[in-house]
Amino acid sequence: MRMIDIGQKKVTERKATVEAVVKTKAKVIELIKKGKVPKGNVIEAAKLSAIMAAKKTPDILALCHPIAIETVEVDFKIQKDSIKISTFVKGDTKTGVEMEAFTAASVAALTVYDMCKSLDRGMTINQIRLMKKSGGKSGTYTRLRNK
């Protein structure tokens, strides 16, 4: 095992978007929308947790380079029986920001689960996947929506 040497790479603007989906009961979604979950505001807690997680990615993923993150954005699309979480990370750096976006999306989903587990232990976290990345030598990747 080794950390990849990025010393000779050029600093470029790096961007990554990752999505995750939390499936739960419609009644839990209604409680989230109304702000009636016993632990508090699920969306705000998940957003803050996601931002904090992105910043701590190198502390929890072996061999992940510490990098300067310029922005972390977290959006939630609340549907009838699910919440789609989308995280966007950007930074001018020598290596990609995908892992920070993945960590943010994963921790946001875990936060939703933690705050709502007393209401639905059967919740699932699904489809944590890279939607788009850009920057660096490998260029741009965009996932087709239906895949």
**Short-list 119, 117, 111, CA closest to 41:** 111
Cα–Cα distance for residue pair 131/29, rounded to 1 Å: 24
Show pLDDT as tens, one digit a residue, over the chain (147 residues). 988 888 889 999 999 999 999 999 999 999 999 999 999 999 999 999 999 999 999 999 999 999 999 999 999 999 999 999 999 999 999 999 999 999 999 999 999 999 999 999 999 999 999 999 999 888 899 998 765
pTM of the entire predicted model? 0.95
Please state, in angstroms and rounded to a whole number, the distance separating the CA atoms of residues 108 and 111: 5
Which of 91, 68, 94, 81 has its CA nearest to residue 120? 81
Domains of the chain: 12-135 (3.30.70.640)
Catalytic residues: 114
Determine the residue type at 38. Answer: P
CA dihedral 130, 132, 133, 138 (to 10 degrees): 90
Confidence (pLDDT) at 7:
85
Predicted pLDDT of residue 45: 98
Q: How many CB atoms lie within 10 A of CB 37?
A: 19
